Amino acid sequence: MVAHLVRLKLALLRNSLKRSPWQLVGLIIGGLYGLGILALLLAGLAALGAADPEAIGTVVVLAGAAVVLGWLVVPVVLNGLDMTLDPARFTTYSIPMKSLLAGLLLSSFIGIPGAITLLASVGTAASWWSHPLAGVVALLCGALGAVTCITASRAVTAASASLASSRRFKDVSGIVVLLPLLFLGPIINGISSGVSNFSAYLPQLANSISWTPLGAVWAVPAEIAQGHYGPAGLKFLIALATIAALVWVWKACLARALVTPAFAGGARRGAGKMGFFGWFPATPAGAVAARCLTYWFRDPRYSAGLLMAPLLPLVFVFAGSQFGGGTAIGVALGFGAALAAFLVAWSISADISYDNTAFALHVATGISGLADRTGRAMAAGVLALPLGVLYAVVGAIFSKDMSQLPGTLGLVLAVVGSGLGLASVFSARFTSNVPLPGDSPLKTRPGNGFSAALIQLAGFAGLGVLVLPELILLIVALVSGQVLYSWLALVVGMILGAVFLAIGVRQGAKIYDKRAPELLLSVSVDR
Amino acid sequence: MENISAEQHPAAGLPPALSIRGLSKRFGAKLAVDGIDLDVPAGSFYGLVGPNGAGKTTSLSMATGLLRPDAGQVWVHGVDVWQQPLVAKRLMGLLPDGVRLFDRLSGEQLVSYAGLLRGMDKDTVASRVKDLLAALDLGKDAGTLVVDYSAGMTKKIALAAALIHAPRLLVLDEPFESVDPVSAANIRDILADYVKSGGTVIVSSHVMDLVQRMCDHVAVIAAGRVLAAGTVDEVRGNQSLEEKFVALVGGRNETAGLSWLRTS
């Protein structure tokens, strides 16, 4: 049975390669990348072997613990990283639990991340070439470490899957994990400057980690090499207990998942709550706007973007504060305002791709291109404009220089107008592979090749050209300090923003009317 | 083709509700629809049957303006679907199969959305949504998000979205799939009423019994061609529709079957 599962995984891999040559290219590139990393790692480990056992131990424990942590966190972020052998699909076969666990565990090593982790873990033995006994132990502990990684990720996946059969949990968890990632730079920066003597701190950290489930398995060889057989035995026991506990959690969650159907609905709710549909006029364009705005808040793929957009300027501010001064922060916020507004406005360039085949309703009802484009632009505009204005005002307050506010507002208006106009054309012309409805917003899908990146780049460049007048006027205003240019930027921004919006929506509508069935076909391929 | 004509006699008067001539579509190397001719008389309850992959969904998508045909023409009540799509689409209500819905809307919002997209006024939409939800027994779940609906409820809400503008022609692709028997009976009643009042319904289905009981006309499609078409009685002759279908399409195994599966 175990062999069957492993063979099944191989067959799935082979078949996925047959489907498209790009899959093979992806696998080869991924494999080469992995092998490169592996070679570097092994070389590094071998070089490390010249150091004293304590130093080797510190490095191996910290790196190993980081790898285990990675295997724990990544599946949560990427909503089922590798579900080719989704346990739920085995429900109808009466596979003994032990065989299922062993089969899933072994088959996890087939695939680039699993294989590289196993090889690198066992490869830690290379760093113990001057301590043969520790080297032999490292071979065993490396294999155990890799098993820890896999069981950890499997246990977390199974646990979150049984927690997350509710859709709301799935929707929220993807976004929540996103936030710390966004602020990783500032956080690391803060920590590293906070701990003044970082290198002295590391061995201490490694020592504490080596007693935890994360690091115990990696610390055993180091203890052996230093002749501390007592601690070595204890840490080995911790490592074994860790694996046993993880397997137990995995087994318990799996057993529950196998008898619990995937469907779990929310509470039933009666009629009468029309939400945003009450806010907009009861016209086709108004309905599209209401629907899109509902999606901005209810669909995690949109709301993740909506959450990111106001936070990104804060990263700018962080950079600005390094240069010092409230003025710098204010200016950074001003440009951040334009960036945030742009991020929201530009998201609708992939609107139809996000609709996926639900777009069939638009085609079937024969809604005019003008109404479709206007509605989508309206919904994004309702969000982008206040966001941009708010940041511009806050920025002006920070820099204590109200004279630049009109210019910043001009830039925001220009970015929103031109961005929406340009995105209206782009979304009628191009579709791309985006996360499917219900998927994690972070899930990247294969097939978004060079052309998609080129299209995005063309969009950014196009926008850059369209807002150039306002940008130049604002920079002149900032440099010269003359209020006139700032007001000029506002006037030009208002006029050009409105003009580009009107042209973009009209052009987009023309393309939409001609190509709606083709758009539907191109998103249908992708489901 | 059998000696039953798929085309309406020119002297029949009113234009057919749906008229298809020479419709073809090729996906890569596969010819999905191979020159279909078909007339659906106004006021008929028309069944479209065929094995999996016969080209039913592709044909219906092209007939309703969702998929551009490689060749051929389609008229709905005399309006060319691909020349005057907006006029034609106003006449049609469509329940597509294998297509997502805007499922982050509540059921009530989704049906209203379909009405508003068609340019209907607010009050009409509101009153019809209420009627439709009640008729399809979705009143208690009107405010629940469609993503949390069961498969059968999802079918029903999609049907409501197709009915909201009181179309003259209803095109339903697999409308009864995963719908429970009680709801299916309710839906059949609604459709029968609709046909009695002069509407035209086209349903595609795998379930021969259902088509034989429910429809007055039927077309058998396989490998992208119409094998037979006409009234149900014309097509099936003195056989049941299922027997006739199997005889037309072929593919039944004549061997002894799985001898090892017998338990005694």
Residue range A308-355, pLDDT digits in tens: 787 777 776 766 666 556 667 777 788 888 888 998 998 888 889 899
A120 and A226 in a single domain? The answer is yes
Is pLDDT above 80 for A1?
A: no
**Residue B151: what pLDDT?**
84
Quick one: pLDDT band at residue A433, thresholds 50, 70, 90? confident
> Closest Cα to residue A212, out of A67, A70, A74, A65?
A65
A296-300, A440-444, B70-74: the lowest-pLDDT one: A440-444
User: A150: part of which helix (H) or strand (E)?
Assistant: helix A132-163
Which residues of chain A have a CB within 8 Å of the CB of B67? Answer: 517, 520-521
Q: Which residues contact A181 (CB under 8 A, 6 or more apart)?
A: A77
A253 and A371 in a single domain? The answer is no
**Residue B3: what pLDDT?**
41
Quick one: pLDDT band at residue A527, thresholds 50, 70, 90? very low
A62 and A204 in a single domain? The answer is yes
**Do B104 and A294 count as a contact with CB atoms less than 8 A apart?**
yes
Distance from CA of A265 to the nearest CA of B (A): 5
Mutate to test the interface with B, among A359, A361, A519, A524 (most CBs of B within 10 A): A361
Out of A259, A293, A309, a domain closes at A259
For residue A132, count other CB atoms closer than 10 A to its CB. Answer: 10
**Do A517 and B68 count as a contact with CB atoms less than 8 A apart?**
yes
Instruction: Give the total number of structural domains in chain A.
Output: 2
**Residue A96: what pLDDT?**
79
Distance from CA of A514 to the nearest CA of B (A): 11
Q: Does B207 touch chain A (CB under 8 A)?
A: no
Quick one: pLDDT band at residue A89, thresholds 50, 70, 90? low
pLDDT tens string B212-260: 889 999 999 988 999 999 999 999 888 888 888 888 888 776 666 777 7
Contact yes or no for B99/B39 (Cβ under 8 A): no
**Do B118 and A520 count as a contact with CB atoms less than 8 A apart?**
no
Is pLDDT above 50 for A218?
A: yes
Distances (CA, A) of B41 to A77, B151, B195: 55, 32, 12
**Do A356 and B90 count as a contact with CB atoms less than 8 A apart?**
no
Q: Is residue A247 part of a domain?
A: yes
> Closest Cα to residue B225, out of B61, B75, B54?
B54
**Do A275 and B90 count as a contact with CB atoms less than 8 A apart?**
no
Contact yes or no for B132/B115 (Cβ under 8 A): no
Grouping H, G, I as helix, E, B as strand and the rest as coil, residue A507 is: helix
Instruction: In whole angstroms, give the CA distance from residue B137 to residue A499.
Output: 49
Is pLDDT above 70 for A12?
A: yes
Q: Does B135 touch chain A (CB under 8 A)?
A: no
Q: Is residue A38 part of a domain?
A: yes
Which residues of chain A have a CB within 8 Å of the CB of B130? Answer: 271
Which residues of chain A have a CB within 8 Å of the CB of B141? Answer: 268-270
Is pLDDT above 50 for A471?
A: yes
A143 and A101 in a single domain? The answer is yes
Is pLDDT above 80 for A442?
A: no
Is pLDDT above 70 for A182?
A: no
**Residue A262: what pLDDT?**
47
A506 and A408 in a single domain? The answer is yes
Quick one: pLDDT band at residue A112, thresholds 50, 70, 90? confident
Q: Does A262 touch chain B (CB under 8 A)?
A: no
**Residue A110: what pLDDT?**
81
Q: Does A165 touch chain B (CB under 8 A)?
A: no
**Residue A375: what pLDDT?**
96
Which value does ipTM take for this structure? 0.90
CB pairs under 8 A between A and B: 134
A245 and A291 in a single domain? The answer is no
Q: Does B82 touch chain A (CB under 8 A)?
A: no
Distance from CA of A21 to the nearest CA of B (A): 17
**Residue B126: what pLDDT?**
93
Which residues of chain A have a CB within 8 Å of the CB of B117? Answer: 284, 287-288, 361-362, 365, 367, 371
Grouping H, G, I as helix, E, B as strand and the rest as coil, residue A131 is: coil
Is pLDDT above 80 for A76?
A: no
A244 and A296 in a single domain? The answer is no
Q: A153-162, A346-355, A410-419: which has the highest mean pLDDT?
A: A410-419
**Residue B97: what pLDDT?**
87
Quick one: pLDDT band at residue A384, thresholds 50, 70, 90? very high
**Residue A409: what pLDDT?**
93
Residue with the larger pLDDT of the pair A399 and A139: A139
Q: Does B140 touch chain A (CB under 8 A)?
A: yes
Q: Does B154 touch chain A (CB under 8 A)?
A: no
Mutate to test the interface with B, among A365, A436, A527 (most CBs of B within 10 A): A365
**Residue B76: what pLDDT?**
95
**Do B100 and A358 count as a contact with CB atoms less than 8 A apart?**
yes
The mean of the pLDDT values for chain A is 81
The parent domain of residue A248 ranges over 2-259
Is pLDDT above 90 for A498?
A: yes
**Residue A190: what pLDDT?**
58
Q: Does A294 touch chain B (CB under 8 A)?
A: yes
Instruction: In whole angstroms, give the CA distance from residue A155 to residue B113.
Output: 42
**Do B86 and A274 count as a contact with CB atoms less than 8 A apart?**
no
**Residue B167: what pLDDT?**
93
Which residues of chain B have a CB within 8 Å of the CB of A367? Answer: 117-118
Which residues of chain B have a CB within 8 Å of the CB of A269? Answer: 106, 141-144
Instruction: In whole angstroms, give the CA distance from residue B63 to residue B80.
Output: 10
Which residues of chain B have a CB within 8 Å of the CB of A279? Answer: none
For range B51-58, the mean pLDDT: 87
For residue B124, count other CB atoms closer than 10 A to its CB. Answer: 14
> Closest Cα to residue A421, out of A302, A507, A513, A335?
A507
Q: Is residue A15 part of a domain?
A: yes
> Closest Cα to residue B1, out of B239, B220, B231, B251?
B220
CB within 8 Å of chain B, chain A residues 421-440: 437-438
**Residue B113: what pLDDT?**
95
For residue A207, count other CB atoms closer than 10 A to its CB. Answer: 15
Q: Is residue A226 part of a domain?
A: yes
A180 and A312 in a single domain? The answer is no
What predicted TM-score, i.e. pTM, was given to this entire model?
0.73
Q: Is residue A275 part of a domain?
A: no
Closest partner CB to A269 (pick from B104, B125, B144): B144
- DSSP conformational letter for A348: G
Residue with the larger pLDDT of the pair B26 and A404: B26
pLDDT tens string A246-280: 998 888 877 776 665 544 445 567 767 788 888 89
Q: Is residue A147 part of a domain?
A: yes
A243 and A287 in a single domain? The answer is no
Quick one: pLDDT band at residue A32, thresholds 50, 70, 90? confident
Is pLDDT above 80 for A289?
A: yes
A324 and A438 in a single domain? The answer is yes
Chain mean position to CA B79? 19
Q: Is residue A274 part of a domain?
A: no
For range B145-149, the mean pLDDT: 88
Q: A110-114, B50-54, B141-145: which has the highest mean pLDDT?
A: B141-145
Sheet holding B18-27, edge to edge: B30-40, B18-27, B71-76, B79-80
Q: Which residues contact A88 (CB under 8 A, 6 or more apart)?
A: A161, A257, A258, A262
Instruction: In whole angstroms, give the CA distance from residue A253 to residue A50.
Output: 44
**Residue A347: what pLDDT?**
87
Is pLDDT above 70 for A497?
A: yes
Strands (E), A139-271: none
Residue with the larger pLDDT of the pair A518 and A81: A518
**Residue A440: what pLDDT?**
63
Domains of chain B: 14-99+168-251 (3.40.50.300)
A168 and A37 in a single domain? The answer is yes
Q: Is residue A273 part of a domain?
A: no
For range A178-194, the mean pLDDT: 58
pLDDT tens string B184-205: 888 898 899 999 999 999 999 8
**Do A287 and B117 count as a contact with CB atoms less than 8 A apart?**
yes
Tokens linked to A149: 């990684």
Q: Does A175 touch chain B (CB under 8 A)?
A: no
Is pLDDT above 90 for A75?
A: no
Tokens linked to A268: 């039933």
Instruction: In whole angstroms, give the CA distance from residue A95 to residue A67.
Output: 31
A220 and A355 in a single domain? The answer is no
